Amino acid sequence: MEKFLSVRTDLALEVHEKNQQDMKRQGGAKPSPYGEGVEVEEDGNEDIHVTRVKITSEQGEKSIGKPMGNYITLDIPRLKENDRDLYENTCRAVAFELQRIIHLGEKDTVLIVGLGNWNITPDALGPKVSSYLMVTRHLHEYLPEQVDDGVRPVCAISPGVLGLTGIETGDIVRGVVERVKPSLVIAIDALASRKMNRINTTIQIADTGISPGSGVGNKRAELSKRTMGVDVIAIGVPTVVDAATMANDTIELVIDSLLNQSEEGTDFYRMLKNLEDNDKYNLIKEVLEPYGGNLVVTPKEMDEVIERVSKVIANGINLALHKNIGFQDIDRYLQ
């Protein structure tokens, strides 16, 4: 039951929000505004809102359920709209946040890994991003005289998934890392969220690596400095929501609404106040039993949106890694 009702999300910000919500509902005392070992900084505006969560201790790791490091979340509510100005501003925002946590020499090589299954649209973010990147490592090797200053050696792979290749993704990436010897790996993957309004409108950047498939209960070997031997930055966008989490959140919202409308001290109020997780679990299990409790949901317009979001991330990476280039240079390269 505990596993079934656990927070199924890849976003550190959402785990933090859930913890704060639980503390408020239980009426417990808060030792700090964000919890011990968790620092939160907010920035941006209503178009692009940035939340930087930094986990600084083992207590913070236990609270959020993620390793110590930086987790940057960009919320862009109108990202799905075809707005050119917002598109360019979002690319620049992604580039800015990447540049804050990337520490490289001008000639250091970067390997970009597009994780996911290109045959399934909600899981195709990584391979899509890889197709829009400015890959330049081969130019440095074979045509060095034609490479402009500020153009970094960048290479990319889309290793597929275990079901297609029969090889663990981590093993493929590790083999490439050992041969290419990059100074940094950037991994892009589709994520799971706990809120529908964050699907295709949120970008998370983390400097702690990634465990592919963890948000949907299909966790593979992690890509991190511990396993790869080099720094690993993870970039992801939520493309699916776990149905069990949605059902649990919906029930909690209904309970909160009924509590606000009920007179304190009545039998009905006490019943709602004392409703245990076991009761909620039984309700959710009854609804999701035909699906084995492992159902995920994605919007119907995913095909069109994933294309736009992929270009946003790719161009954010392009701007961050290659100095002295702009959108005109990127568009010329990709034609």
Between the alpha carbon of residue 87 and those of residues 28, 181, 234, 249, 314, the distances in Å are 42, 33, 21, 31, 12
Side-chain-side CA neighbours of 128 within 13 Å: the count stands at 25
Enumerate the β-bridge partners of residue 233. Answer: 186
Give the model's pLDDT for residue 327: 80
pLDDT score, position 4: 39
* Residue 25 or 297, more confident: 297
Over residues 153-172, mean pLDDT: 92
Q: 């979340």: which residue's tokens?
A: 73
Name, of 96-105, 146-155, 161-170, the range with top average pLDDT.
Answer: 96-105
pLDDT the model gives residue 80: 83
Domains of the chain: 2-241+299-334 (3.40.50.1450), 246-291 (no CATH)
Mean pLDDT score, 120-127: 92
As a whole number of angstroms, the distance between CA 6 and CA 277 comes to: 11
The DSSP code sequence of 8-19 is --S-HHHHHHHH
CA triple 67-69-71, angle to 5 deg: 100
Q: How confident is the model at residue 12 (pLDDT cuts 50, 70, 90)?
A: confident
pTM as predicted: 0.81
Side chain identity at 223, as an amino acid letter? L
The pLDDT score that the predictor gives to residue 2 is 42
Q: How far apart are CA 118 and CA 310, in angstroms?
A: 12
pLDDT digits (tens, 9 = 90+) for 174-233: 999 999 999 999 999 999 887 878 889 999 999 999 876 554 455 567 899 999 999 999
If you average pLDDT over residues 45-64, what whole number do you get? 90
* Cβ atoms 277, 5 nearer than 8 A: yes
Q: Are 317 and 150 in contact (CB under 8 A)?
A: no
